[in-house]
Amino acid sequence: RVGGGWSYPWSYPKSYGTQVYDELFFGLKEIFPHKDDVEHIFQAAKEGCKYFMTLDGKSILKKAKKFSAELKGICPNLEFVDPKTLLEKIK
């Protein structure tokens, strides 16, 4: 969330009374401990984002580095970066 506002997981798996399994979503849940993080990363991957920029070094960037092989398998086109790294990549 930047500058206030709110985020809603528009593509979040909906069940309407039946169980829905989304491989990407549940794969991310196995790696990242916080539901909000999983929802944001899920949205970025589903929308085809190339980068997921965050300042959250402890629960996102550290986990993304530790589980990089697993993440390449479930969201191969998404790279997890901090703002400085993103600026270096897009220059």
Structural contact between residues 54 and 80, judged by C-beta atoms closer than 8 angstroms: yes
2-12 pLDDT per residue, tens:
444 444 444 55
What's the confidence (pLDDT) of residue 91?
87
pTM given for the model: 0.76
39-88 pLDDT per residue, tens:
999 999 999 999 999 999 999 999 999 999 999 999 999 999 999 999 99
Is 70 exceeded by the pLDDT of residue 89? yes
What's the confidence (pLDDT) of residue 3?
41
Only one residue has tokens 């997890």, namely 80
